[in-house]
Amino acid sequence: MKKAQFEKAQDELERIYAIYPKYPNLHYYKGLMYSNMGNYKLAAEEYATELKNNDMSVSALIALGKTQIQMGDPKAALTHLAKAMGLQPANAEAKLNAALANHRLKNYAGAIALFQAAIQIDSGNPILYKRMGECYRDMGDLIAARGAFQKYLQMEPDASDKAEIERYL
């Protein structure tokens, strides 16, 4: 999968499936492959199958939530992301994706709280500041957005979207 040789990856996963259909994370990896290919519907199905086999898989819960956000269903995503946060309260990725889902649902206060909680866990992640700045911008708080965007550019001085972000400074 890392080399984008999806057919070979599919063959290897199918061989494992033929021997042991409930192999831990097998459907999770198939979901990742489909997600990398841009087929979010099949990816969501694979993640859901993984969760039927292991409903406590935090990585599958987060991946399904991310995929549902990509497919335009942030409300359904929050169900899985909330469960992931319950299982692993210190997981910054779960909080980031839950914040993105809340942002899409225009629940800006909830999104900001989740972004801040994720930053408490992973303060070195510049994407958290960028996404939080976008949320502040969308809710009309340009001063707070400016602060978050400045922190993002401070951490990522060569960001590919630097010119776009600098418009808000």
Q: Per mean pLDDT, which range of 19-28, 61-70, 81-90, 134-143 is the poorest?
A: 19-28
What pLDDT score does 33 carry? 87
Model pTM score: 0.87
State mean pLDDT over 43-67.
96
92-143 pLDDT, tens digit per residue, is 999 999 999 999 999 999 999 999 999 999 999 999 999 999 999 999 999 9
Q: What is the pLDDT of residue 5?
A: 67
User: At residue 67, does pLDDT exceed 60?
Assistant: yes
Contact between 161 and 126 under an 8 Å Cβ cutoff? The reply is: no
pLDDT > 90 fraction of the chain, expressed in percent and rounded = 79
Q: Please say if the pLDDT value at position 2 is more than 90.
A: no
Separation between Cα atoms, residue 157 and residue 162, nearest integer Å: 8
Structure-model confidence comparison of residues 127 and 29, the more confident one: 127
- How buried is residue 115: exposed, middle or buried, by Cβ count under 10 Å (0-12/13-18/19+)? buried
